[in-house]
Chain A
């Protein structure tokens, strides 16, 4: 299988990657920073790997006999327990940085160079594989996709953040999605569908809360014709919310969609799972009225509390042509699912959805 990282975007190798995957009829997973480097609705796509990846991406990695890493660096959030990662696979690693070769995992075949270049040569040197000759492997993966899809329990108990992300996709299928860091970031990675490179902008390695809003302002300045959403949490957004002033003064109409659960949600999730729900300093409920905050800066503020209000709010935001803050009051103890506990092998992946 192909495990593609942010290097695909760095080297503008999306086309070559698509050709290569189809050429050898091999499933593709893209890391958090590689999302958008391969069309997420392509039949060969298996989603994101690792801690909050899809079950079927993780199972595919664990069962494959050759792992082709391209512009990826075997981050701990991808590999889980390193000793158990891709246990049956030879590792082929394509990276422009020789320091990455065998840094985290012993590589069997390294190729140092530009991903675009090397994928193009592989397309030349590797004999094409017919779909039928890969049938058994692809059917197994298809079976995992059917048995273990990404899912969440519907609307009966409050507004679901995953539903909001799906609705953002429905409202605008070619937006640039920028995120902060935390649960909302994982939901955005899981539930928005990406077809273009450079459409998903997120703080991967460092995990910087407060990254998303200024990054979305930068993205909108660079791509003024695209709709730009900053999918945020109520914690992260407060780390750089002063930038509403920048957006208003410079007329940069980014739409912020706050998944407001009143918690530093990802830390709360770990406290729930591993610290018997002792929510030490993760409750931030009623910190601020985000609608008034938006209005105080001269931006548009919208509050959404019901599922039925989601669509109209998104339409209003996109029509306004102004900087908008939408305060989505979401289910407060929703978990990001599935999840591999830190340090576990990636096939030991738990369902955490709330019933």
Chain B
């Protein structure tokens, strides 16, 4: 895509972000607050597998991740759609499987009002996600989605949830996808400490 004049809605930007992350398939179930996202899915090449219960979307995303080594992606609407993902998210958390769960949320102005199909899914999933986000500004979408895939797939893998208020999906933004992620306080250790490796080597040599 060209760098200039990349104006698009939040819903479109979400699809572009998924392309940027080389997502080939998502498992999901539509609903009221997801209408704009589903309209963009309809217009896109993204493969979407329609499940019959959101729990299955989460488990299918996990099965996909475990079979391929890629990040599994699931999508569910606000309220019951989101809470139906909970078992699948908890499962992925317990077994350290990389997953990004996208949930619809009621519009920002209605959050906290007990709106129709509202559930505090970031609160509910706090202890069963590696990290989660409630998107407050459509401009943050590319950064948040980039970070979510990074967090899900690096270090000890795990599920990351992104809660997407409906009005975020209609807001227009200038789209550009960040090249890299820089998160203070999240730098997983990959290389073992050499002293420890040598101590281990010596213990291994002494073992019978």
A/B pair count, beta carbons within 8 Å:
186
Across the interface, do B200 and A109 meet the contact criterion of CB distance under 8 Å?
yes
Contacts A117-B192, A122-B204, A214-B57 given; does A204 touch B62 at CB 8 Å: no
Range for the number of chain B residues in contact with chain A: 35 or more
* Residue in chain A with minimal CB distance to B66: A201
Across the interface, do A98 and B189 meet the contact criterion of CB distance under 8 Å?
yes
Across the interface, do A126 and B205 meet the contact criterion of CB distance under 8 Å?
yes
**Chain B interface SS verdict (over half):** helix
Across the interface, do A210 and B192 meet the contact criterion of CB distance under 8 Å?
no
Docked pose: A108 CA to B202 CA in angstroms: 13
A314 at the interface (CB under 8 A from B): no
A216 at the interface (CB under 8 A from B): yes
A177 to chain B, nearest CB (A): 11
Across-interface contacts of B96 in A (CB, < 8 A): 6-7, 10
Across the interface, do A218 and B190 meet the contact criterion of CB distance under 8 Å?
no
Q: Which of A7, A108, A113, A218 contacts B192 (CB 8 A)?
A: A113
Docked pose: A215 CA to B34 CA in angstroms: 24
Across the interface, do A214 and B205 meet the contact criterion of CB distance under 8 Å?
no
Contacts A66-B207, A111-B196, A111-B200 given; does A218 touch B67 at CB 8 Å: yes
Across the interface, do A112 and B201 meet the contact criterion of CB distance under 8 Å?
no
B52 at the interface (CB under 8 A from A): yes
Across-interface contacts of B68 in A (CB, < 8 A): 198, 222-223
A299 at the interface (CB under 8 A from B): no
Residues of chain A at interface, number, CB under 8 A: 66
Across the interface, do A217 and B95 meet the contact criterion of CB distance under 8 Å?
no
A246 at the interface (CB under 8 A from B): yes
Contacts A206-B91, A243-B52 given; does A111 touch B197 at CB 8 Å: yes
* Residue in chain A with minimal CB distance to B51: A246
Q: Considering the complex, which residues of chain A in the window 93-139 have a beta carbon less than 8 Å from any beta carbon of chain B?
A: 94-98, 108-114, 117-118, 121-122, 125-127, 134, 136-137
Across-interface contacts of B199 in A (CB, < 8 A): 109
Docked pose: A204 CA to B96 CA in angstroms: 10
Q: Considering the complex, which residues of chain B in the window 21-75 have a beta carbon less than 8 Å from any beta carbon of chain A?
A: 25, 27, 47, 49-53, 55-70, 72
Across-interface contacts of A24 in B (CB, < 8 A): 204
Q: Which of A206, A221, A245 contacts B64 (CB 8 A)?
A: A221
Across-interface contacts of B63 in A (CB, < 8 A): 178, 201, 214-219, 222
Across-interface contacts of B193 in A (CB, < 8 A): 111-113
Across-interface contacts of A223 in B (CB, < 8 A): 67-68
* Residue in chain A with minimal CB distance to B52: A242
B155 at the interface (CB under 8 A from A): yes
Across-interface contacts of A213 in B (CB, < 8 A): 56
* Residue in chain A with minimal CB distance to B206: A66
Across-interface contacts of A217 in B (CB, < 8 A): 49, 51, 56, 60, 63
Q: Which of A126, A205, A226, A242 contacts B201 (CB 8 A)?
A: A126
Contacts A113-B191, A127-B205 given; does A214 touch B69 at CB 8 Å: no
Q: Which of B94, B156, B205 contacts A205 (CB 8 A)?
A: B94
Q: Considering the complex, which residues of chain A in the window 191-216 have a beta carbon less than 8 Å from any beta carbon of chain B?
A: 198, 201, 203-206, 208, 210-211, 213-216
A142 to chain B, nearest CB (A): 16
Across-interface contacts of A250 in B (CB, < 8 A): 49-50
Across the interface, do A218 and B189 meet the contact criterion of CB distance under 8 Å?
no
Q: Which of B55, B157, B206 contacts A214 (CB 8 A)?
A: B55
A148 to chain B, nearest CB (A): 22
B87 at the interface (CB under 8 A from A): yes
Name 20 A/B residue pairs within 8 A (Cβ), A-sorted: A7-B96, A66-B206, A92-B203, A94-B200, A95-B156, A112-B192, A118-B191, A122-B201, A126-B201, A198-B68, A203-B95, A204-B94, A204-B95, A206-B90, A206-B91, A217-B49, A217-B51, A217-B60, A218-B72, A222-B67
Interface residues of A (CB under 8 A from B): 6-7, 9-10, 12, 24, 33, 64-66, 68, 90, 92, 94-98, 108-114, 117-118, 121-122, 125-127, 134, 136-137, 176, 178, 198, 201, 203-206, 208, 210-211, 213-223, 226, 240, 242-243, 245-246, 249-250, 252
Instruction: List the 7 shortest-distance A-B pairs measured between CB atoms, nearest first.
Output: A205-B94, A218-B63, A215-B63, A218-B60, A214-B56, A218-B64, A66-B207
Given contacts A111-B193, A250-B49, 12 further A-B contacts (CB under 8 A): A64-B207, A95-B156, A118-B192, A126-B205, A134-B208, A214-B56, A214-B58, A214-B59, A216-B63, A218-B61, A223-B68, A243-B51
